[in-house]
């Protein structure tokens, strides 16, 4: 992967991270469209917890129906049933025989949340062709790849970014009234967040040495003239990216400072002293301060337990126990904090790792890279329980990892189900997010009380705009058609002229094609180029999208490629209403007197 493409889903590694509440933090873009739907879901949030290094989910959730097989594969590492926390003990959602799990003894807080119906454990999660490289595996998880040798394995944008880009297609790099916050915030020491969309960089803030209350004062002290001339080269791409980072810093620094300072964590909740807890505590405080950020991504490292996952002679202590204890305490405190702050109905937390570990232990009291794993979804809106059956511990590949052909759920099914049932993305949004059909069928992860009604789904679509105009002074009132003298005299430029006039149409450089050369009907021949604009309903001075098009003698504005079809805009929020404007080089522009529904 070229470095400039890698930067589309990663932070600039050469820069030091900015510290907010002692945590490295970067931000991603915002948009004006957060309030565009009629259903009350625009304040919902997904918090992603990434267990970096490949968690051993088999020791995290021990399959009780195969405990003897499990113990045989791990004679020095298995957890005896007496030490496990039985998941289905009559206190929480009940599960089937093939779903009976024993939780690691460090997960008492998770069990409490499960008893409250706030946890769903999804088993047998992976992708069709798993990759056992940490770097490539997380790249696949965050880009939406499937591990194959096809293009679906080599995507240079992040699925989170594609979802946000589809849902809010008119982002222009600046906060809007009522929506001052970045769409996504990445906390912790993670270089790849999956936030970059196809069309523009959601630039990440990546500076160092400041707590939230002083964030803006640090950023505002950075000076220097901006770079404006970027060479057409790899070097130029990197310069443009770096300048985008600086611009994003300047835009969002005061917002992040103010939001953090306006918030507070509950005095009744004590977070444990670990890095993940610090990240989640910061998320809760920002939400308390009014943040409307849609996706927060956090990370906990250390799960690459090739050696001494357990202490010699003490399977309930050691590195894995410490990691799970930190994760358990952080998530339980975070959920308790959200409850106390009255925010728990708007937040869903999802936990994943890039892959699981082998079923069979190695000679170092550890486990090597595996294949399939589990995911955890946590929140008031969760359909509590277990999704999927326990892994078959006798079905192993040649390297003693779970056979990847036994995968039960593609990881994109989990994220896709949350993006639709929790965040309200429509089918088109999911298709644009994941690029393939592997996000279906949906899983029942959001309870009926919280699941979004399909009538409330949103997402960008392809829409056609049918507009008819007449140019003053050019109209033949006898035939009610305009004159086409420019066309007959071959004076219409073959390429759209508006970019040279300072406009930036979506189809910049579009060629007139068949629209000029083959349409000579007396009523429908071409008169000239026009510029068609979609403007925001409540702020008609704000041009959201524009398209160079042709106007025919009969007044219809048509696509420049064929001279007959209505103008088509892709990636448009069809749930909105718009003001529609038409510009011409030699005439005053016109705009609809009221908003128009384009769906």
Cα distances from 56 to residues 213, 365, 451, 515, 531, in angstroms, run 38, 13, 31, 61, 57
3-state DSSP call for residue 489? Answer: coil
Name the helix (H) or strand (E) containing 59: helix 57-60
CB of 295 within 8 A of CB of 162? no
Neighbours of 102 (CB within 10 A): 24
Pull the structure tokens for residue 492.
Answer: 């219409």
CB of 24 within 8 A of CB of 13? no
Q: Tell me how far apart the alpha carbons of residues 580 and 596 are, in angstroms, rounded to a whole number.
A: 7
- Edge-to-edge strand list for the sheet holding 61-63: 61-63, 101-103, 85-86
CB of 289 within 8 A of CB of 267? no
What does pLDDT average to in each consecutive run of 10 residues of the chain (599 residues)?
32 35 49 47 92 97 98 98 97 96 98 98 93 88 82 77 80 58 75 48 33 42 44 54 52 78 95 93 93 90 96 96 98 98 97 97 96 97 98 96 96 97 92 89 96 87 87 85 88 90 88 65 86 89 90 92 88 81 91 82
Write out the DSSP string of 20-64. ETTEEEEE----S-TT-SSSS-TT-EEEEEEETT---HHHHEEEG
Pull the structure tokens for residue 466.
Answer: 């049918």
CA quadruple 489, 492, 495, 496: dihedral, nearest 10 = 180
The DSSP 8-state label assigned to residue 223 in this structure reads: -
Pull the structure tokens for residue 135.
Answer: 């770097």
Pull the structure tokens for residue 582.
Answer: 């038409």
pLDDT of 29 reads 45
Q: Is the pTM of this model over 0.85?
A: no
**Dihedral sign from CA coordinates of 207, 208, 211, 214:** negative
**Dihedral sign from CA coordinates of 403, 405, 406, 412:** positive
Residues with Cβ within 8 Å of 79's Cβ and at least 6 positions away in sequence, in order, are 59, 62, 102, 104, 105, 315, 316
Cα distances from 314 to residues 77, 108, 172, 341, in angstroms, run 8, 19, 56, 39
């Amino acid at each position: 992967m070229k470095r400039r493409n890698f930067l589309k889903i990663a932070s600039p590694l050469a820069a030091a991270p900015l510290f907010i509440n002692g945590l490295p933090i970067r931000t991603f873009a915002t948009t004006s469209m957060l309030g565009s739907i009629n259903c009350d879901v625009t304040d919902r949030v997904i918090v992603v917890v990434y267990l970096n290094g490949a968690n051993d989910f088999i020791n995290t959730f021990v399959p009780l129906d195969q405990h003897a097989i499990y113990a045989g594969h791990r004679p020095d590492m298995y957890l005896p049933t007496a030490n496990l926390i039985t998941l289905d003990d009559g206190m929480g959602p009940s599960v089937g025989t093939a779903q009976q799990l024993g939780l690691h003894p460090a997960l008492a807080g998770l069990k409490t949340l499960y008893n409250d119906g706030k946890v769903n454990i999804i088993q047998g999660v992976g992708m069709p062709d798993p990759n056992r490289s940490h770097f490539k595996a997380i790249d696949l998880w965050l880009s939406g790849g499937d591990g194959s040798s096809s293009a679906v394995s080599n995507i240079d944008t992040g699925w989170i970014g594609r979802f946000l880009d589809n849902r809010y297609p008119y982002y222009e790099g600046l906060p809007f009234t009522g929506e001052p916050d970045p769409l996504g915030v990445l906390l912790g020491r993670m270089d790849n967040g999956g936030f970059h969309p196809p069309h523009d960089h959601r630039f990440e803030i990546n500076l160092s040495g400041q707590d939230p209350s002083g964030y803006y004062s640090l950023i505002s002290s950075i000076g220097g003239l901006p770079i404006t001339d970027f060479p057409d080269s790899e070097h130029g791409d990197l310069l443009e990216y770096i300048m985008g980072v600086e611009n994003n810093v300047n835009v969002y620094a005061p917002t992040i400072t103010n939001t953090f300072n306006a918030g507070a964590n509950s005095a009744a909740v004590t977070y444990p002293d670990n890095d993940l807890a610090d990240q989640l505590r910061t998320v809760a405080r920002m939400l308390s301060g009014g943040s409307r950020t849609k996706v927060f991504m956090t990370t906990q490292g250390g799960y690459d337990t090739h050696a001494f996952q357990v202490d010699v002679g003490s399977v309930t202590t050691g590195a894995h126990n410490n990691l799970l204890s930190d994760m358990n305490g952080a998530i339980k405190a975070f959920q308790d904090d959200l409850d106390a702050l009255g925010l728990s109905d708007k937040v869903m937390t999802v936990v994943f790792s890039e892959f699981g570990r082998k079923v069979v232990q190695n000679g170092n009291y550890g486990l090597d890279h595996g294949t399939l794993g589990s995911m955890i979804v946590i929140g008031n809106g969760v359909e509590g329980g277990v999704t999927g059956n326990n892994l078959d511990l006798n079905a192993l590949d040649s390297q003693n990892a779970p056979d990847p052909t036994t995968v039960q759920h593609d990881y994109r099914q989990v994220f896709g189900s949350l993006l639709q049932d929790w965040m309200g993305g429509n089918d088109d949004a999911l298709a644009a997010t994941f690029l393939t059909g592997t996000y279906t069928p949906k899983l029942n992860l959001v309870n009926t009380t919280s699941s979004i009604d399909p009538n409330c789904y949103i997402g960008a679509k392809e829409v056609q705009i049918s507009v008819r105009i007449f140019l003053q002074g050019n109209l033949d009132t006898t035939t009610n058609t305009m004159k086409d003298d420019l066309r007959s005299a071959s004076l219409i430029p073959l390429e759209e002229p508006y970019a040279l006039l300072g406009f930036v149409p979506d189809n910049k450089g579009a060629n007139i094609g068949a629209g000029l050369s083959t349409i000579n009907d007396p009523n429908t021949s071409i008169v000239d180029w026009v510029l068609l604009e979609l403007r925001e309903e409540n702020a008609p001075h704000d041009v959201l999208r524009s398209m160079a098009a042709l106007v025919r003698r009969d007044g219809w504005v048509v696509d420049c490629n064929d001279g007959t079809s209505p103008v088509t805009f892709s990636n448009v929020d069809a749930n909105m209403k718009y003001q529609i404007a038409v510009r011409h080089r030699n005439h005053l522009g016109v705009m609809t007197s009221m908003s128009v529904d384009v769906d």
